[in-house]
Amino acid sequence: MTAKTIMVQGTASHVGKSVLVAALCRIFYRDGYRVAPYKSQNMALNSFVTRDGGEMGRAQVVQAEASGREPSVDMNPILLKPTGHASSQVIVLGRPVGNKCAQEYHREYAQEAWIKACEALERLRAENDIVVIEGAGSPAEVNLQETEIVNMRVARQAQAPVLLAADIDKGGALASVVGTLELISPRDRDRVAGVIINKFRGDLKLFQPAVDFLEAKISKPVLGVVPYFQGFRVQEEDTVSEETMRRSSGEADRDVEIAVIHLPHISNFTDFDPLEDEPDVHLRYVGRGTPLGRPDLVIVPGSKNTIEDLAYLKRSGLAERICALSREGVPVVGICGGFQILGRELNDPLHTESSIPHLEGLGLLDISTTFAREKITTQVEARACGPGHLLERARDLTVTGYEIHMGVTRTGSEVVPAFEVIKRLGEEVSLWDGAARPDGLAWGTYIHGVFDTASFRRSIINSLRQRKGLPPLDETASLSAWEQRQRDYDRLGEVVRGSLDMEKIYSLLGLPPR
């Protein structure tokens, strides 16, 4: 089997390429085809750990789920995780190979990465009917065209027709399409089979003259105008979306308010999507210049550069404010890097993450963390065992998630474990995870996705409700995060199917629509 291929590229970053790929994957999956996503190189802080312990970009995990497939590192063979200015940790086929500056990567490593990426693509093509490929940024970045391994070079390698997506919500969509086609080579221009106008708001009939003009100007068809999605969520690739930030900045109009600290190097913020979806929760992202207020719970999230983000908290005054709220009895929770930040100190003697070798933490937990070169990436299953009002209510509830961290944390005498890991990479174990104060008002864990489990998530929220004198809500009514995502993929597929010329897209693939 050699899969047919089709590729979605964009006129710029954040035009909706990853969501359109997820939508096409869902459509092909629902039509009975065996389909897989592919992005040769992804730069993102949101990542995931596969069943066998490989790390890959979260966007390709979303696309895999939309395809009805188990995520595989072949779907994202090269992952770049920014660590600082013009420097990234390079992860190849799920395993870190070191930190590289941009110049070193493009000049010295890109060719080796390209070979790995091509091998991964061929493995996917051998196992599927269709591979839907995602580009990155724009193919018109002329300074990168000779060394790029993620846009037109991939399209040529895969012999894939290209759908060029433009974001009309930000304005300038027609100009960006015309400019992109003007700046790429004639052979690559010929490979562009059509245009998708994405994130449209308004009356489509009023927009039709613009569509007619664009088609005449570029001599290519507009294959669809996709509306701005509302009423459902598809997880973001790399940044907290503008829509989420707008929602979070509104007035708290629900029973429970949860504040997530928006760190400069925030990672895996999709951990908190399930909380935002709860009907009684107002979730806010709080950064520099945003008042923290007095929420019912403060969460310090994961970070790709934990020491630098801790320094930011101290400079911005947020560290002092978090500690003051903790003294007033407001619960504070840390996830992964946030867990490390809650401790007494962070040490990085080998400069694994930062040029700062040592920094005192917030001191809310009796733990200390030292960064090491070895990276832990593993899926886990754990049960809650911590003390205090929040965790006692959830005691013995099982959660599933994954760990991605480079720090080794040692606990002191003033904390106890928050969770017991009972399964790691599919094998039964008995290991302690995280730490909690005896009063349970400060605790942390290395487990990403801990709130995905509906029973645990609802238990924590109901504990917060009870602290405010509010009755608990039904703990069996919430969907798991996976169930909610599956519903959203179906809705996404329906919207996009109704917006695109799917008959033409199947014709480009050389396959019959089903």
CATH label of the domain that carries residue 469: 3.40.50.880
Query: Residue 136 domain-assigned?
Result: yes
Amino acid at 109: Y
Do 410 and 300 share a structural domain? yes
Domain that holds residue 19: 4-233
The mean pLDDT of 99-125, rounded to a whole number, is 88
The pLDDT of residue 374? 83
pLDDT tens column, 172-193: 999 999 999 999 999 999 999 9
Do 165 and 201 share a structural domain? yes
Classify residue 434 by its DSSP letter.
Answer: S
Longest dimension (CA), the chain: 73
Residue where a domain terminates, one of 233, 268, 303 = 233
Query: Residue 125 domain-assigned?
Result: yes
Average pLDDT of the chain to the nearest whole number:
91
Do 272 and 187 share a structural domain? no
Do 211 and 257 share a structural domain? no
pLDDT tens column, 72-87: 999 999 999 887 666 8
| pLDDT higher than threshold 90 for residue 437 | yes
The mean pLDDT of 297-321, rounded to a whole number, is 94
Do 149 and 193 share a structural domain? yes
Query: Residue 325 domain-assigned?
Result: yes
| pLDDT higher than threshold 90 for residue 400 | yes
Query: DSSP characters for 118-143?
Result: HHHHHHHHHH-SEEEEE--S-TT-GG
Percent of the chain exceeding pLDDT 90 equals 73
- Number of domains within the chain: 2
> Which tokens hold the place of 121?
């693509």
| pLDDT higher than threshold 70 for residue 222 | yes
Do 166 and 297 share a structural domain? no
- Name the band, by pLDDT with cuts 50, 70 and 90, for residue 106: confident
Query: Residue 285 domain-assigned?
Result: yes
Residue where a domain terminates, one of 233, 267, 291 = 233
> Which tokens hold the place of 98?
């070191």
Do 270 and 161 share a structural domain? no
The pLDDT of residue 420? 95
> Which tokens hold the place of 236?
């973001």
Residue 346 and residue 340 in contact, taking contact as beta carbons nearer than 8 Å: yes
User: Strands, DSSP E only, in 276-397?
Assistant: 281-286, 297-300, 302-303, 332-335, 345-347, 358-360, 367-384
The pLDDT of residue 64? 97
Query: Residue 497 domain-assigned?
Result: no
**Residue listed under structure tokens 């908190």:** 272
The mean pLDDT of 117-131, rounded to a whole number, is 97
The pLDDT of residue 198? 95
Lowest mean pLDDT among 166-175, 431-440, 472-481: 472-481
The pLDDT of residue 375? 85
**Residue listed under structure tokens 């911590």:** 386
Query: Residue 489 domain-assigned?
Result: no
| pLDDT higher than threshold 60 for residue 250 | no
Query: Residue 485 domain-assigned?
Result: no
Residue where a domain terminates, one of 205, 233, 261 = 233
Do 131 and 58 share a structural domain? yes
The pLDDT of residue 319? 95
Do 124 and 74 share a structural domain? yes
For position 90, which CATH number holds?
Answer: 3.40.50.300
Q: How far is the C-alpha of 190 from the C-alpha of 17, rounded, in Å?
A: 20
Amino acid at 246: R
Catalytic (active-site) positions: 336, 448
User: Strands, DSSP E only, in 118-276?
Assistant: 130-134, 162-167, 192-200, 222-227, 256-261, 266-267
Query: Residue 359 domain-assigned?
Result: yes
Do 26 and 164 share a structural domain? yes
Do 229 and 298 share a structural domain? no
The pLDDT of residue 239? 61
Do 327 and 197 share a structural domain? no
